[in-house]
Structure 1
C-alpha cells in the first residue's frame, strides 16, 4: 500500500486493512476508487485554537464599587421550563448587587440592566467576566468601553 508516501491520509488505510481482513483481494487503487465514490475522502476540518492569553492575578479591590464580577447561571422550574440568571457581584465585599432572571438574556438586555445598577451603585472601574458569547459580542464591548 502507498501509505508510506503520504498519498493516503486519514481513515483510508484503516478501511483498506479492514477489507483485506474480510478476505477480499482487492488492491488499494480499487478500494480507493470506491472510497472516493462514496465520498468518504472528505477532509476533516480541525477546530481553531484560541491563542494563549496571560491572565491577570486576582487582586482584592481596596474599596466598594471598584470591580464587579458577572456571570450567568441556568436552572429549570418545576414544569421543566429552563431559565437563566445574570448575577452581578461587587468583589470588595462580595455583595450581590443584582440578579436578573429571564428565559433569554441577550447582550442588549444585559447592558440595560447594568445601566440600571449603575444608577444606584455607580459604574465600576473594572469588570471581571468569562468568555461567554454575551460578553464577547460587540454590544457588550462597546458598552464597556463607553462606561
Structure 2
C-alpha cells in the first residue's frame, strides 16, 4: 500500500513532468488536495539526539525500550515512534551476535565511598541444592564498612522480589553499584530507584573488577 508521502511525490512528478493540473493529478492518484499541498515541517531533534547519545554511552546495554523510558521520564520525548526514529537514525541498535572479545571502551574510575550507606555494591550468586535445583542469592556489600546489609536467596529472583528485599532493609544507600543484568536494568527497578532518589551506577560490560568489593565477597560466600 502506497502511503500519502509517496502519492504526494507522485502528484508533484505529474504536475512538473507532464504539465497537468494539481486537481487532475490528485484525482488520478486518489489524493486529497490538502494532502498534495502539505509541506512537512522539519522537527528539531538536536536535544533528543544529544540526550540519547549521552544515555547510550553511559548505559551500553540499554536498548530502545529502556532508553525511551529514561527519555520519557525526564520529559525529553513522549511518543515512542519519535524515539525509535532517532534511535535507528543514530544506528544505536544492539548487536545480538556474540563476540569472543568485548568492545574496547574507555577506562572509568568510580568514586570511593567515604561513609557507611553511601555506596552499596550488589550482585547475584548462583548455586545448586542437593536435589540439583538452581538456587539464586542476592548479595550486598557496603563499600565503606565492608559489612553486608542483607542476603536474599530463592529459587528465582525477579526485579520485583529484589525491590521488596531492598524495602525490607533498615537503611538504603545513596548509590547502588551493579552490573548490567536484566533485573538491574528493568523498568520496575529503575522507577523504584528514581522514586527513592537512589543513583544507580552501572559498571562496564565485561569489567567485573569495577565491582571488586562484591566480587571479593561472593568468592568467599560460595
Structure ID, larger Rg = 1
User: Structure 2: which 5+ runs fail to align?
Assistant: 1-94, 197-222
The equivalent position to 1:73 in structure 2, one of 125, 130, 149, is 125
Shift of 1:88: 1.2
2:161, 2:107 → 1: CA distance? 28
Larger helix proportion of the pair: 2
Q: Secondary structure at the match of 2:144?
A: coil
Partner of 1:127: 176
Whose relative contact order is higher, 1 or 2, with alpha carbons under 8 Å and at least 6 apart? 1
Once the two structures are superposed, what CA deviation does each residue of 1:64-102 show, in whole Å capped at 9, x if it has no partner?
A: 000011100100011111110001111102111111000
- The 3 A distance-change label for structure 1 pair 144 and 51 is farther
The equivalent position to 2:186 in structure 1, one of 125, 131, 137, is 137
1:94, 1:100 → 2: CA distance? 17
Q: Which runs of 4+ in 1 moved over 3 A?
A: 48-56
Provide the TM-score with structure 1 as the length reference: 0.60
Q: Secondary structure at the match of 2:149?
A: strand
CA root-mean-square deviation: 2.3
- The 3 A distance-change label for structure 1 pair 55 and 100 is farther
Provide the TM-score with structure 2 as the length reference: 0.41
2:146, 2:131 → 1: CA distance? 32
Correspondence list, 1:1-147, <5 A = 47=96, 56-117=108-169, 120=170, 122-147=171-196
Equivalent pairs, count = 99
2:107, 2:191 → 1: CA distance? 22
2:187, 2:106 → 1: CA distance? 22
User: Structure 1: which 5+ runs fail to align?
Assistant: 1-45
- The 3 A distance-change label for structure 1 pair 145 and 73 is same
Larger strand proportion of the pair: 1
Once the two structures are superposed, what CA deviation does each residue of 1:6-57 show, in whole Å capped at 9, x if it has no partner?
A: xxxxxxxxxxxxxxxxxxxxxxxxxxxxxxxxxxxxxxxx636999866641
Deviates more, 1:82-91 or 1:52-61: 52-61
Q: Secondary structure at the match of 2:183?
A: helix
